[in-house]
Amino acid sequence: MEVLTLLIAIVALVIAILAFQRTGGGMRDLRRQIEDLREKSEHATKGARDITADALNRLETLIRGQQKPSPTEQEPTNAESPTMEQNDPPMEQDTQKDGAPSTEHKP
């Protein structure tokens, strides 16, 4: 009787292993599925980021009513305020008697 119970248990184990493999069980298969899902999620995330960035750019343009000026087109903000050179009194230059600037340099 014990031998019959052992044979039934072994047959049941073999059937369970076959059913597990047939339904997609196995470590290699699971790893492949995980990699596929990771690639799909990365692709979907990148697509969502691109769409969101485009929508935000359009919204910004709609709110501002115009395109942002590029950094090269912007005027310097300090152009309206006087510079240090404009506030300093003119410095006296060394001139010769005829009014030409001196070529000699003093140490």
d(CA 29, CA 38): 14
Which stretch of DSSP H or E encloses residue 96? none
- pLDDT, tens digit, for every residue of 66-85? 655 556 655 555 555 555 55
Q: Cα 95 to the chain's mean position, in Å?
A: 60
Predicted local confidence at residue 28, as pLDDT: 73
Tokens of 54: 């485009």
50-to-45, 46, 68 alpha-carbon distances in Å:
9, 6, 20
61's CB contacts (< 8 A; 6+ apart) are 67
Q: What is the mean pLDDT of residues 46-74?
A: 81
- pLDDT, tens digit, for every residue of 2-20? 999 999 999 999 999 898 8
User: Global pTM?
Assistant: 0.34
Predicted local confidence at residue 75, as pLDDT: 56
